[in-house]
Chains A and B, each alone.
Chain A
Amino acid sequence: MPVPTLARVTGALVLIVGLVAGCDSGAAEPAAPSGATRVFTADNGDITIPVAPKRVVATGYAVPALLEAGAPLVGISTWQRGLPMMSAKDRAAYDRLAKVAGESAAETNYEAIAQAEPDLIVIGVPKPVLADIDLDRLRAIAPVVALGPSLPSAWRDLSRKQADAAGALATFDTVRAAYVDKTKQLAAKYAGVLPKLKFAHLGAYGEVANGNFQREFNGSWGTNVAQDLGANYYGEVKVKGTGSKAVSEYPSIEELPSAFAAADVITYTVSADGSVPKGVRYVLDSELWKGLPAVKAGKIYPLRYTEAATYGSAMATADAADQALAPLLTS
């Protein structure tokens, strides 16, 4: 496989050059007048950013993460997807802050960003989307740190990096500690039950409306928080893709019996308000679903808030999973 090797070599080179350059600039450049700076490694290279930024603009996935971490935000992009999962305090901040971009990165309002006079811009979009943004123009306003999602479960690392860049690690670490505490307790509570069972998850993200169903394995949206409670989602993707395609797949509904035949327990994704999304409803209503062993045994449980991408919202996910899986403790 020549391409990955080449990519790895190039990556290593970039890293080395970056480190050398970082050392160099650290030694040679005088400290910026507005305050101390440091070199931060992001998707778009090694960026010199303020140690303690005072005015931060955030877009994409960085919006919920930095709201939660209490970063000094002065402008954000809209983030409709995250609204149902925001705490009341974050939601109020979201509504109050100036919007500098819509959901589509191409329509970033550069003048509005300049007007917000940020000293740091954190872009939380997947790497390919960066092509749609005029990074040079943004760099003319303030240092730009691009930190985008890769694997679904990688939000843990991603939100930490985003908070780190924005100088808001303190609050972030408090929230994370609370999450870790909670999931540790829950894992202990379920220790006698969950690890012995084979789990499978029916997802609701992506191509689920066309006679397919989404099967999520370990490390995917629907499964990663339940895993922290001790659940193990058996099996793996038949044809590995990148990103979400590495941990979930979309087989035809005809393959439902063979896919879920060995599952002791099946969890499935439901919306924040508890309603069953259309693609999931289609599977639940099909004749083939009714013949599955786990369905016959009554061991099917809905999971809410599976799209959590911050520790704060994942607390709700963990609580919801606890609620949903509680019957397993008594049976």
Chain B
Amino acid sequence: MTTVHAAPARPRSGTRRAWLVVALVVLAAVAVVSVGVGAHAIAPAAVLRALFAPTGTGDDAVVRHIRAPRALLAVGVGAALGVAGVLVQTISRNPLAEPGILGVTTGAGFAITLGSAAGLTATGAGELMLAVAGSVLATVIVHAVGRGSPLRLVLTGVALSAVLSGVSLGTRLLLPDVFDAYRFWAVGSLAGREQSPMLLPLLAIGLALVGAVLLSRQLDAVALGETVARSLGANVVAIRAGALVLITVLAGAATAIAGPILFVGLIVPHLARRVAGGSVPWLVAYAAVLGPILLLVSDVGSRVLLPTGEVPVAFVTAFLGAPVLIWAVRRYGAAPL
């Protein structure tokens, strides 16, 4: 493995395995807390009863129909964004890239804006379909134009994002109703999603995560640069295309479920890199656990920060993630990939 020599202080495999187990335990603990905490106070015993022996009370309904699905969504969305972040930073070889850079988020927002101008967003399912269609379309265009080099990919993503967000901003400024609907979609949140059809996007995220694990070994080669990858016998173009499909599915499904939560896809790979070094398979594994932890913690925060109502989760992720990122870059410098 040439990669071992590429990254300087690469942790040993045993250490990485131990930390992953620790992270999984933390994830389980945070998930339990997130089901127990909310605007309506419910005793821990009642929470357990609601989960395992429901009797149909109002408290049971809160736990089973609102909090449990929400925790499940947080895990799915967090894992999707974290892993998508690892993939996008690997193929663009830019530690500042995040899934949104490929136009996924603005594509979804664009479709939502035009869709609600045309009156298509009245149902959760309609909104979901629009978000998926928009993100797929945007990524296809970005890939078609920017496939030549990582730099061009990033530039195309930024340019297309600008065009799409400009058109949708113009539309919104002309149509106040659309503006009103969009400003609530524009801040990502996990609240109130429990009635939307979640099965399909969660299934898509699950399959894409498996795909990411399978692809991660080949990506390890690509991360070393195209020439090295070719000499190792990797089909760079095919691997990159595969990664783009996975990023679109992961980030598209996550955005469709929760709206734009930009920061998770950027910060989670950076955090994962502290433990996993540059190995893509380990990065994927860590991102798939750290992403949900970050999102679950943020979601709990979003419920308890205000006396009435909630803070959108995207707000909390920004305020949790940003200081960590600043600390990391000051402590370790901007990590090369």
Chain A residues in the interface with B (C-beta under 8 A): 80-81, 102-104, 107, 206-212, 238-239, 249-255, 257-258, 275, 278, 282, 285-288, 291
Contact = CB atoms under 8 A, between A and B. Distances in A.
Secondary structure at the B interface, as helix, strand, loop or mixed, is loop
Given A210-B192, A212-B191, A251 B173 contact: no
A209 B61 CA distance: 20
B39 A252 contact: yes
A286 B195 contact: yes
Interface of B: 38-40, 58, 61-62, 65-66, 121-123, 173-177, 179-181, 184-185, 187, 189-195, 303, 307-310, 312
29 contacts: A80-B175, A81-B177, A103-B176, A107-B173, A209-B184, A209-B192, A210-B189, A211-B66, A211-B191, A211-B193, A212-B191, A238-B307, A239-B308, A249-B309, A250-B309, A252-B310, A254-B38, A255-B40, A257-B58, A258-B40, A275-B122, A282-B192, A282-B195, A286-B66, A286-B195, A287-B61, A288-B61, A288-B65, A288-B66
Contacts of B40: 252, 254-255, 257-258
Contacts of A254: 38-40, 62, 66
A212 B176 contact: no
A286 B103 CA distance: 34
B61 A210 contact: no
A252 B309 contact: yes
A104 B121 contact: no
Contact of A103 (B66, B121, B173): B173
Output the residue of B58, B181, B195, B309 with the most chain A CB within 10 A: B309
B316 to A, nearest CB: 13
Contacts of A81: 176-177
Contacts of A104: 173
A285 B195 contact: yes
B308 A253 contact: no
Contacts of A252: 38-40, 191, 303, 308-310
Contact of A212 (B65, B173, B177, B192): B192
